């Protein structure tokens, strides 16, 4: 389910450079590449602001309960903090893009990540 904020994020990413590609993975996850370099990942049901885990939930520690009852995608997004909002994601994208153009170490590491990943 693509939100307004994700659509806006894609438009802003394309304004940075025509060489930025947004590739759909599965279950709503997307990877962002610049030419032959990996930049970041995002999720298509992006809110405006970033969300964090607010309350302690003991069910998260029970792997059996988690595997049997919980929605895997939502749990992965919550634990790995893929609930980034539009403003955080666009700031992160601009920072990665700037680093890619100005930092040689980041250029090499993002190129290595791209070479190891399967890009369609």
pLDDT in tens, 60-116: 666 666 666 666 666 666 666 556 788 888 999 999 989 988 999 988 888 888 877
> What does the block give as tokens for 65?
């309960």
pTM of the model: 0.70
* Domain range summary for the chain, segments of one domain joined by +: 4-116
């Amino acid at each position: 389910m693509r939100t307004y904020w994700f659509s806006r994020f894609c438009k802003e990413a394309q304004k940075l450079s025509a060489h930025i590609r947004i590739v759909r993975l599965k279950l709503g996850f997307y990877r962002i590449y610049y030419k032959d370099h990996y930049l970041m990942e995002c999720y298509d049901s992006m809110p405006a602001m970033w969300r964090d885990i607010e309350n302690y939930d003991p069910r998260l520690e029970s792997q059996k309960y988690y595997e049997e009852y919980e929605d895997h995608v939502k749990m992965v997004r919550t634990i790995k903090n893929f609930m980034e909002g539009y403003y955080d994601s666009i700031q992160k994208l601009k920072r990665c893009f700037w680093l890619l153009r100005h930092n040689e170490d980041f250029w090499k590491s993002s190129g290595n990540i791209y070479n190891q990943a399967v890009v369609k």
